[in-house]
Structures are given as C-alpha cells and as structure tokens.
Amino acid sequence: MAESPRRAAGRRLQLPLLCLFLQGATAILFAVFVRYNHETDAALWHRGNHSNADNEFYFRYPSFQDVHAMVFVGFGFLMAFLQRYGFSSMGFTFLLAAFALQWSTLVQGFLHSFHGGHIHVGVESMINADFCAGAVLISFGAVLGKTGPAQLLLMALLEVVLFGINEFVLLSLLGVRDAGGSMTIHTFGAYFGLVLSRVLYRPQLEKSKHRLGSVYHSDLFAMIGTIFLWIFWPSFNSAPTMLGDGQHRTALNTYYSLTASTLSTFALSALVGVDGQLDMVHIQNAALAGGVVVGTSGEMMLTPFGALAAGFLAGTVSTLGYKFFTPILESKFKVQDTCGVHNLHGMPGVLGALLGVLVAGLATHEAYGDGLEGVFPLIAEGQRSTTSQAIHQLFGLFVTLMFASVGGGLGGLLLRLSFLDSPQDSQCYEDQIYWEVPGVHEDEARGPLKVEEPDTQA
C-alpha cells in the first residue's frame, strides 16, 4: 500500500525522538539511583582494609572485556551475513546493545543490588548488563531485517524488564543455578524473539526473498562474528561464576564443549549437504551451540567427557535444526526466524537447561567437597537435596519459557502498533530504507556521486 512521502518522513522522526527520550529517561534515573559500589568509589574503597589486588576488577574485568567483544563484535558481525543488510545488522546491534546496557543496569540494579535507595554498580553490573544485551540481540536475530530501529528499541525496552524479572525469579527466588545463561539468556532470548516473530508474521515476505541470502564476502564478515563468539565463549560462561576453581572449571568445560560442537557440525553439515558440501550457515552458527549447551552446567562438575558429549549433541541438534526444522517452523508454525535463533539458542538452550537438571541431580558431597558451597549453596547449607535442586532447575526452565512466550507475545503486539515505522514486505533485508548506502563498486561510491534516493513508497 502506497504511503505519502510526508507521512513517511514523519515516521522517520520516531527513531531520533525515541533515542532522545530513552536517553533522557535513563539519565534521570541514573542521576537519582545509580552510585559507585564500594569497589569503584574512591572513598568507600579506601575506607576498607584491603589490598588493591583484592579489587573484584582484577578477577572479572578480563572476562568482562571478552563478553563485551562477544556482544558487539560477535553478534554484530554474525548477523552481517545478509547481502544488503550489513549496515543495519552492525548498526542496530550497536544501538540496541548500547541502550540495553543502560536500561538493564537500572532494571537489574533495582532487582539485585538496590540498597539504601541506591543501585550500586561495578564490574559485575557491567557483566550482567552485557548478558541482558546478549539476550536482546538473540531476539533481534529472529526478526532481523523485518523491523525498524524504533520498533527494536521498544522491543528492548520491554525485553530488558522481562529478562530482569525472569532472572530474578530464577536466581534469587528459586535458587536456580544458571551462570552462563542457558535459560536466562539463550532460552529466554530465543523464545521471546520467536514468539515475537510469530506475532509479526508476514505472509507476503517472499517479496523480499531475493535479499534473504549472503554473498561471498558477507559470509566472511559473518565468520568474524562466529570466531569471536567461539573463542570468547569460555569467558562468557565463566564471567559471573565464583572465583577460583569455579571460573577455571567453567572456562575449561566450555572450551571442550565448543570443540565437540564444531566437529559434529562439520560432520552433520557434510552428511546432509548436497554432494557432501558444507553449508556456511551451519558452520557460522551450529558450531557455537557447544557454548550455549553448557551455560547452566559449565560451572558444575560436568567432567571433561561430559562437556564433549554435551557439545557434540548440541552441534548435531543445531545443524539438523537448520536443515530440517527451520523450513517447518516457517511453513507450519508461521515463524520466520531470520538467523535461525531457534537452532543456535532455542534448542541448545533448552538442552542446556535439561543438562543442568541432570548434573545438579547427580551432584554429590564427595564430588564437590568444600566447593559445594560455591556451586550449590542451598544444598551445602542443607536446605535442599540434590533432587530438589534438580526439580527447581527444571521449574526454572518452565518459568523461563513462560516469561519468554508471554513477553514475546506482548512485544509483538507492541511492535504491531500501526503508527510505528516498519519496513514494507518488499523492503525487508534492505539497508537503504534506514541508511545512506554507498555503491558496491567503485564507480558507484559514496561521496560526490550521490546515490539515488531509496524508494520508500511501494
């Protein structure tokens, strides 16, 4: 349906006004509520009797930086595989994550570190905010190319709140363990995005199908994302775990799991490929499933063999999902999952949660020794049996699926508000709606040679 140029131009004000409003609002809330914690505040830190080497910064900041690289480099480039949507993939990742970091500092702060009327921040809040941004970007992957930036900011506004509440229910109320976020990040982010994508279902999307694919170089850009996610995933899962053996073991388990998911992804991709050819989509995505699947159990005494087995299973399930389940998801369930987040985050996240149930249920005092307190404090304190912990873990998965589904549904209804700027069916997966785009070849380059105005009226 055609739209007047004037109205189109009016809609274009949504993004800047929303950015300014959201930034103003978080700034005011920061002014009122957010304060340095005792490790970042000059007066508070020096009041204590401790060495500078004790500052949490030195235990967690290197891992934080790796997580930060994953969120911005990893997710950003991984989604840049589309031939004409690289600017949007990178740019909107950047925008969404930057907003989510501020907003989740507030939401998580109110729920987790609100003392004396103030939120206290330090390196742990930085890590947690990055985790929340990761969940938002997972959801972004499900609707990539079919939503405008103002819509995406509204999605983030809602999702961050629900992420925070779900995380609070699991970790604080239910005593669930989920350091690397198989449930709180991957399962939540994936199903929130998938349900949202279902609500935004576009029956006429085949109009844009010619842009829904990669070109040779865009696949190499996407590999930047894949490899940075892969190498830093041990830091992702271990960033928030207990110090000492906890971080060490989590990193090790994740490292092994990823090697196994890589091998199973190559094996399965070649097995199901035409003429035994490998598919870049599988390599870029399914090889990462090993990181997702040990998000819950990575800090536990999973054993190195357990990590390999888990990673192998996750890579297998994820590759088969890309090959066989994604088409069904669209044709039968009307879920258009651009990046296949169901395969990379959804199924491996659920598997990871179930693996956590299993490993928690098998925990023994002998295996953990005095380290039990760090991994399962409620069991160590005698408040819970291992079976009870396992049941709580399972219930945590259920709660997460509920929050994600209801939240994704609400989000979808919010994003369908008719006044919101949204790309038309024929203009999905296309940078030119939102960006000044230079040519692909030199003679079409940006600069003095002005590109033609994008046709925003269908």
The residues in 301-340 that bind a second copy, with binding defined as CB under 8 A, are 301, 303-305, 308-309, 312
Decide: is 423 part of the binding site for a second copy (CB under 8 A).
no
Least Å from the CB of residue 401 to a second copy: 30
DSSP states of 105-161: HHHHHHHHSEETTEEEESHHHHHHHHHHHHHHHHHHHHHTTSS-HHHHHHHHHHHHH
Q: Is 269 strand, coil or helix?
A: helix
Rg over alpha carbons for the chain, rounded to the nearest Å, is 22
Decide: is 163 part of the binding site for a second copy (CB under 8 A).
no
Q: Which stretch binds a second copy (CB under 8 A): 92-100, 155-163, 166-174, 339-347?
A: 92-100
Closer by beta carbon to a second copy, 413 or else 457: 457
Binding map of a second copy across residues 370-389, x = CB under 8 A, - = no contact = xxx-xx--------------
Least Å from the CB of residue 263 to a second copy: 4
Decide: is 39 part of the binding site for a second copy (CB under 8 A).
yes
Decide: is 140 part of the binding site for a second copy (CB under 8 A).
no
Least Å from the CB of residue 265 to a second copy: 9
Decide: is 452 part of the binding site for a second copy (CB under 8 A).
no
Residues with Cβ < 8 Å from 49, sequence gap 6 or more? none
CB 147 within 8 A of CB 422: yes
Closer by beta carbon to a second copy, 82 or else 335: 82
Residues with Cβ < 8 Å from 183, sequence gap 6 or more? 170, 176, 295, 296, 349, 352, 353, 356, 396, 397, 400
Neighbours of 427 (CB within 10 A): 20
Q: Measure the CA–CA gap between 411 and 84, rounded to whole angstroms.
A: 26
Given 361, 377, 409, 454, the residue binding a second copy (CB under 8 A)? 454
Given 402, 406, 417, 445, the residue binding a second copy (CB under 8 A)? 445
Q: Which stretch binds a second copy (CB under 8 A): 40-48, 167-175, 326-334, 389-397?
A: 40-48
Q: Measure the CA–CA gap between 412 and 378, rounded to whole angstroms.
A: 38
Closest among 141, 123, 136 to 59, alpha carbons compared: 123
Given 42, 117, 332, 452, the residue binding a second copy (CB under 8 A)? 42
Decide: is 434 part of the binding site for a second copy (CB under 8 A).
yes
Closer by beta carbon to a second copy, 262 or else 400: 262
Q: Measure the CA–CA gap between 121 and 44, rounded to whole angstroms.
A: 13
Given 126, 179, 339, 379, the residue binding a second copy (CB under 8 A)? 126
Decide: is 41 part of the binding site for a second copy (CB under 8 A).
yes
Least Å from the CB of residue 272 to a second copy: 9
Please give the structure tokens belonging to residue 70: 């994953």
Decide: is 458 part of the binding site for a second copy (CB under 8 A).
no
What is the layout of strands, in order, in the sheet containing 34-36?
A: 34-36, 118-121, 114-115
Least Å from the CB of residue 385 to a second copy: 18
Q: Is 36 strand, coil or helix?
A: strand
Contacts of a second copy in 338-367 (CB under 8 A): 366-367
Least Å from the CB of residue 149 to a second copy: 8
Least Å from the CB of residue 173 to a second copy: 25
E strand or H helix that includes residue 34: strand 34-36
Please give the structure tokens belonging to residue 24: 């103003």
* End-to-end Cα separation, the chain, in angstroms: 6
Given 256, 322, 325, 403, the residue binding a second copy (CB under 8 A)? 256
Given 159, 167, 178, 219, the residue binding a second copy (CB under 8 A)? 219
Q: Measure the CA–CA gap between 162 and 167, rounded to whole angstroms.
A: 8
Decide: is 146 part of the binding site for a second copy (CB under 8 A).
no
Q: Measure the CA–CA gap between 257 and 327, rounded to whole angstroms.
A: 27
Closer by beta carbon to a second copy, 11 or else 410: 11
Decide: is 59 part of the binding site for a second copy (CB under 8 A).
yes
Decide: is 287 part of the binding site for a second copy (CB under 8 A).
yes
36 has which bridge partners? 121
E strand or H helix that includes residue 215: none
Least Å from the CB of residue 47 to a second copy: 6
Decide: is 417 part of the binding site for a second copy (CB under 8 A).
no
Least Å from the CB of residue 332 to a second copy: 20
Q: Is 87 strand, coil or helix?
A: helix
